[in-house]
Structure formats: structure tokens, C-alpha cells
Amino acid sequence: MFKDIRFNALVGLSVISILSIIIATGCNSVKVSSNNIAPKNTAQMLSLSCFETNADISLYKLNTNTKQTDLLKTQITPGAFTPNVLSDDGNLYYPKRDSSGKFVQLFRYNLASRKEIQLTSLEKNDTVLVEYLDIDNETSKLFMRILRKNHDNSELAVYNLKTEKMDVFGNNDKDIEVLNFDLCKDKKLVAVATYSKAENINKMDKASKNQLSLEPAQRNITIYDENGNIVKECKPINDFVTDISLSPDARLLLFSINTEWLDDSHSKKNIVCTQNVETGEIKQVLKSSDQYREIENARFSADGKGFLYLATKPDAKSFVNNGGYTKVPNTIFYYDLQTKQSKEIWSANNKTIINYVVLDK
């Protein structure tokens, strides 16, 4: 799942809490359009954010076929801590601390001119934190998770690159926390995972006071169109979910699940499951092992025949970068849903992939 970063100035604002294991789900009968998906180029393009030794954060573009990486931008400090997206017109978008050092806003960097422009601000958009970016096929809308001033919950917002206006999804309910989201670009849909902050706090208090195992708050998965209209609401999920992904044909959901809080030893274990959007059928497709450790950030490939994910190899050696951060190098893998086999895509010494976006999905 994408890593949540909070700065000192934002202490007291909402933090993504842990989620739970899928026990029963299903969806209502509203149909999602199943038009044919256009064939995808076999060269899967990814946009990466990496910790490394010579800088806090660097942003890359990766061709998964040739394994070629292009360095797009190096962020010393302040840094971009969450995914960046590269548009077809040569613009790079990413979250970054503004000049005040207090807030994280949306920035655009043109690769040709090397000019950086701040797009959102507290004054203009009421935002104090921008994270988790993705962009539509028309390079006209940026989807992002945000925090607004005087709000304790994360929300999904859409920034229109043509009008420079930002709209927030949902009904402005300050109890509803957006955990994660994923775009289905060909069908112009977005899947959003949410939960109740109040319920989550009650569950945590109950577990603490009674020395019981932590139970998850109910999670909801809602599929919207790009204008914020609800297309489908799935039945509640109880799981320690960290990431979601929607397949290119909008028929499958992919969940990354952390089972750490279900184990008395608190050992970090991870599971990846698929869910049929129409029937609610759940299938476990991958779990952490001695070979694939700390599995996270599972996302469908552009053709929907498999998914990419991050994992740590057993022989990976930690390093300390110039910023004083200790990190362990990880690897991007691809899992084929038909053959049920994983293959290594890319890794590098002294680099830790924080997050990535599938650009051509």
C-alpha cells in the first residue's frame, strides 16, 4: 500500500489506520459497463518514487520490458514522499512541501523547460496535504487524496488541469476517511476505499482497554465515475487492507492486506486477494513467504492479466542515505493470474521504491 507521511506541522491531522481480513463481501446489482478495452502496449510504463543514497527522494520512469530507467527529477529537501505521475505532454506532477515548509501541495515540473509550478495552496484550495496521485487518459484531471484545513479526515479530490479548479468527492462527511483509490482510465471510473474514523477509534479503544485483539472498522469500496457520481457500492469489507486496485475492465478488485495485527507475534505478513465486482467472490492469489517478504502496493497491469507488486528479497541489505534514513532495497515483481507465477521486474542496489503508478493502465 502506498506509505502515509505526516509532517510535524500536521500532527493532530488524520492518519491512515490499519484495516482488516476479507470475510464476506458482495455487491449490489448495478452494472458496470463492460465495453471492450483497447489493446495495450506490451511495454508497461511505471512512474517511481525512490529513496536512495545520494538524495532523499528521486523520481524515475521505468520501462518494464527493457528495464530502462529515466531519472525525471531529484528531490533533495523538501521531498515528494508519495507517487508522482508523468503525463503524455511531458509534465511531471508530484506532492511536495511548499515554501513555508508546513504544507504539502501539488506541483508540476516540465521536463523540457525544467520549470516547477505550485498548483494548489492553502489560500486557493484550502489544502494542507496532497498525496496519492493519478491522472486520466486525457491528461486533463489529476486525482489525489487530500487533507483540508479544519478537517481531520482524508478526502478524494479532482484537480482540473484546464480550469485549475479542484472538486472534492463525497458529501463532506468529516467522519469518513479515504484510505486509497485507483483509476480505471478506459472506463473513466475510480474505486475508493473508505472507513469511519469514529468506528476505528472505538475499535482501538476497546482492544486497548480489554486487552483484546484489534478488530477492523468496517471498510467500504465505492466505484464512482470521473464526475463523482456513484456507479456501484460494494458490500462492507472487514480486512486490514492497505491498497486497492481496479482492473482495466472494471470486473475485478485487487486488495493488498496486512495480517500483522491478527498475529500475536505481530510478524509482518501480507496477502493479496481479488474480488469479483459483480459476484463478490474472493480469491487469495498471493501471500508473503521466505522468497517474497513484505508484499505491498499490488496494482493491476495495463492489460489486466496480472498485477505488479513490491516485495523485499531475503538477502536485501539495508543502507543509510545522506538524509539519515535507514532503508532496505525492495523489488518490483509481476504476478501472472493465469500461470500463478511471479517474475522479477526491477530492483537496484541502494534504492528503496516508496511507491509507483502504472502510467498506461
pLDDT 10s digits, 163-201: 999 999 987 789 999 999 999 999 999 999 999 999 999
The pLDDT assigned to 37 comes to: 39
Q: How far apart are CA 239 and CA 45, in angstroms?
A: 30
Residue 25 scores a pLDDT above 70 = no
- Residue 179's SS3 state is strand
Which residue from 84, 83, 143 is spatially nearest to 116, judged by alpha carbons? 84
Residue ranges per structural domain of the chain? 16-35+46-358
The pLDDT assigned to 349 comes to: 81
Q: Which residue matches cell numbers 511531471?
A: 92
Quick one: DSSP state of residue 317? -
Q: Looking at domain 16-35+46-358, which of 2.120.10.30, 3.50.30.10, 3.40.50.280, 3.40.50.10490 is its CATH number?
A: 2.120.10.30
- Residue 134's SS3 state is strand
55 contacts 298 by C-beta, under 8 angstroms: no
- Dump pLDDT digits (tens) for 245-269: 999 999 999 998 886 654 544 455 7
Which residue from 95, 102, 108, 94 is spatially nearest to 128, judged by alpha carbons? 102
Full-model pTM = 0.82
Mean pLDDT estimate for the chain: 82
- Dump pLDDT digits (tens) for 124-144: 999 999 988 999 988 899 999
Q: 143-150 long-range contacts, Cβ below 8 Å, gap at least 24?
A: 143/181, 143/183, 143/190, 144/95, 144/106, 145/178, 145/180, 145/181, 147/10, 147/13, 147/14, 149/122
- If one counts every other C-beta atom within 10 angstroms of the C-beta of residue 39, the result is 8
Q: How far apart are CA 215 and CA 167, in angstroms?
A: 33
Alpha helices in the chain (DSSP H): 122-125, 197-210
- Dump pLDDT digits (tens) for 37-78: 334 444 589 999 888 887 678 889 999 999 999 999 887 554
- Residue 258's SS3 state is strand
Q: How far apart are CA 22 and CA 4, in angstroms?
A: 22
273 contacts 23 by C-beta, under 8 angstroms: no
189 contacts 179 by C-beta, under 8 angstroms: no
ω into 95 cis (within 30 of 0): no
Q: How far apart are CA 280 and CA 159, in angstroms?
A: 32
183 contacts 143 by C-beta, under 8 angstroms: yes
Q: How far apart are CA 110 and CA 108, in angstroms?
A: 7
